Each structure stands twice: as structure tokens, then as C-alpha cells.
Structure 1
Amino acid sequence: MSENKKDQSLEKYLKDIETIKDLLADVDKRPLYESWVFYVWGGLIAVGSFIHFLVEKSYDLPIGEIFLKVWLPVILAMGFFEFLALVRNLARHSLSIFSRGMVKLYMSMTGSVAALVFIVLLFLKLDAIQYLPIVFLLAGAIAYFILAQRSAYVYLFAHGVLMVLLAILFYLLKIEHHALSLIVGCVVAISLTIAGFSAGRMEKKEK
């Protein structure tokens, strides 16, 4: 009788573990953001890239001033829409923004952004601004690789690989800085638009 109870308890314990594993796998398959945010990001980067190109070409402003007047508002707007899309999506799926997986993801993102800021400052100090568009392309690849760790965004791995290959190609071609900034902005904007389309299809399947 006692052995029977032990076997039943063990069986129940194993079933509970299996249920928890299934729940965690299900959470991993759910997207972090609503799909529209990819389109917004792509649009903001496209607009920022065109303004950057026109301002740099017409007014010959230093890169630091262009960053403050063009890219800082773009980055803040992207952050706002990211937070909005994240909160709305987590609420829809009844997920916590402070879950272990979310905290790990955002720690990775924060570390990557901090490293990127340091690299950009280093390039500016060394007067190597012609390579900054390539650095931003590689930063985009890193962001894709981090998101691709989640099952919901595994398709972003291909976007990351493509960006690395393009960064190498642009480096070898030695394209003029003004043109390269615009090309990289357009590449990232198109990539985000395609990612938004893929995310939208995943959302429809989920429903």
C-alpha cells in the first residue's frame, strides 16, 4: 500500500513537471510585441535616415549635432512604441513583464546597447565615422540574434545573418559615408517591415 502511494506521488510529480515544461514552452512561443511595432520601427528608421542624409549633405552639421537633432528623437519614439507594444501584448497573453525570461532578455538588450554606445563614442573619438553605418548594421544583427533565442522569433536569425553579410560587403566596397548611411537605413527599414509581416502571420496562426 505504501509503495503504491509512493508510485502515485512520483507519477503525479512527473506529470506536474511535464505540465510546467509545456507551459514554459508555450510562453516561449508567444511573441513579445504586437506585430505593428516592427512597421513603426521601420518607418521611423527610414524617415530618420532620409533626414540624416539631407541634413548632412545640405548643412554639413557635425555628427554629434545630427545625433541629438535627428536620431535621439527617433530612438526615444522607438522606445516608446516598443514599451507600448510590449505592455499591450503581455496584457493580452496574461504574462508578467518581470518574469525570469523577460528580465534575462532585457538584461541582454541593455548590455548590448551599452556596448554599442561605447563603440560609437570610440569611433567618434578616433574620427572613424565612415564606419558607423556598418556598426549600426552589426548592432541590428545582434538585436535580431537575441530576439531569435525565443521560439516566436526564430525567423529573425536569418535577418541577423543577412545583416552580418551585408556589413562585410559594405566594408569591402568602401561606399561613401553619406550614401552608406542612407543605404543602411533603408536596409534596416525593409528588414523590419518584412519582420513585421512575418510577425503578423504568426499572430494570425495563433488566433
Structure 2
Amino acid sequence: MLKIAVLISGGGTNLQSIIDSIENNYLNCCIECVICDKAGAFGIDRAKKHDIKTFVIDKKEHGVALSDKILEIVNEKVDLIVLAGFLSILKGDILKRFHNKIINIHPSLIPSFCGKGMYGIKVHERALEYGVKITGCTVHFVDEGTDTGSIIIQKAVKVLEDDTPETLQKRVLEQEHKALSEAIKLISEGRVKIEGRKIKIV
């Protein structure tokens, strides 16, 4: 059984989708812990409701030591780290120890609307400003860059003429919930093969 740590910064709807996927037997894995970089985030309440161990490592308090604090918690205890709406950037030893064992969900079709400063509603605002007809979400491995790791899954969402950033965000989020659990399932089944920066699903 795949052991995972889920990292969050806010409400935890992607966390909830993983919990639901485990409870309905879609995923054969267990959430060893939920780690949040922001005190008072509702996602922590979601985890506690399901008796999942929680940790709050406030980025304002720990700053550059945040990644090392997280590594102390997860080292040799989990097989995969899932960034589910986690807004801090992981750096240092954790990226080496968990090479190709950290995944992130991003609310656009990478390489569009990603990188530094591109998170949350800002992504959807930029997509609408640019006038794209299709957007979506991407699950990718985490490397030393920001949103630059190998792509595992992408799901497309049609942009409607009357979309606002909020309505677009809502529809993309629905696909995020599906994509994240799908990626975890593929990894747990050993079906994700990395060849250079390309990934094959076998």
C-alpha cells in the first residue's frame, strides 16, 4: 500500500478528493499525514475529521527552513508527497531524497500560465486575459524549478465566453480532483515510467 503525505495551504478540496478516493476504494493507499504551511487553514479540519495526523509548519515562522522541517516529518515514513494546493516552494534536500516522488497539481495546461507568481485565481485571470479557448490542469513531478517537472496527466477544460475567473476556476477544480487521484493511482500501480523528461503510462 502506497503511503503518502499531502501538503496543503488552504481549504483542502484536493485533499478531500484524495480522501474520498481512498474511502471508495479507487485508491489503494493511505494518507500518513497532512502538512499545512498556514495556521487556521480549513484543510487541517478536513484531515482531523478523518483521523489523519496533521502538522502545521507556518511559512511565516519557518521561512527558508520550511522544506527541511517537512523532510524531518516525512523522511522514511512515506513513499510519495502530494502537493494539493500547497503554495510554498520546496527546496533543498527534500527534492533529492524524494526525487520523482513528489507530485503537484497546477490549474493550467503547463507550460502555459505557470511558474513564479502563478497560483490560485491568478492563473485563471491570466488565461482569460490571454483569450485562450482551452485551459485545464496538470499533474507533474516536482523538481528544482517552479512547475517545470515532467508531466504525468493533463485534463482540458473549455473556456466559455461568459466565464469569470471564479467560474473557470470552479470547473478546472473539478478536473483537478479527478486528475490528482488518477495520478496517485497510476504511481501506486507502478505504471508511470520516466524517460528523460517524458513520461509513459504503461
TM norm structure 2 = 0.33
Higher relative contact order (CA 8 A, sep 6+): 1
TM norm structure 1 = 0.33
* Larger relative helix fraction: 1
* Larger relative strand fraction: 2
Which one has the largest radius of gyration? 1
